Amino acid sequence: MAVEGFSVEVDGDPYRVGADSRAGSTGAATVVAVAGDVDLAAADTLWSVLDEYVRPGASVVVDCSQVAFLDSMGLRTLIRAQQKADAAGARLTLAAPSEAVLRVLTLAGVGDLFVLDRSGSAGS
């Protein structure tokens, strides 16, 4: 299902999660690039990708540099992925979080739940 104003892409072996989504992995880390509005309409698509790649021993980098808007459902999806990573012994990093992402993490008081790479170099 396509979600207007939102896209998520993972470099590597492509497959379709939705009309605007591809997933795969490269190198030691899987880099999930998220763009647009991460809201109620997009949360299920984002969760599908994160659920696929957050597994025991995995390293997943969520590039948040192009996120224009993050609502409570988008935040819930990121928290859920972080909880799954913690339980699986995986590493989840939010890379280059946009001002929209940082604002929501700060207002919700959950910034400390995540590994933040403000430089965006975690997936390099």
Cβ 94 vs Cβ 116: under 8 Å: yes
Mean pLDDT of the chain: 84
Kindly state the helix (H) or strand (E) to which residue 70 belongs, with its residue range.
Answer: strand 59-70
CA distance 107 to 124: 29
Residue 23 has pLDDT above 80, yes or no: no
pLDDT at 28: 79
As a whole number, mean pLDDT of residues 73-98 equals: 98
In this structure, are residues 5 and 37 in contact, taking their beta carbons and an 8 Å threshold?
Answer: yes
Residue pair 26/58 in contact (Cβ under 8 Å)? The answer is no
pLDDT band at 110 (very low <50, low <70, confident <90, very high): very high
**Residues 85-114, mean pLDDT to the nearest whole number:** 97
* CATH superfamily of this structure's domain 6-117: STAS domain (3.30.750.24)
pLDDT in tens, 42-67: 999 999 999 999 999 999 999 999 99
pTM value is 0.82
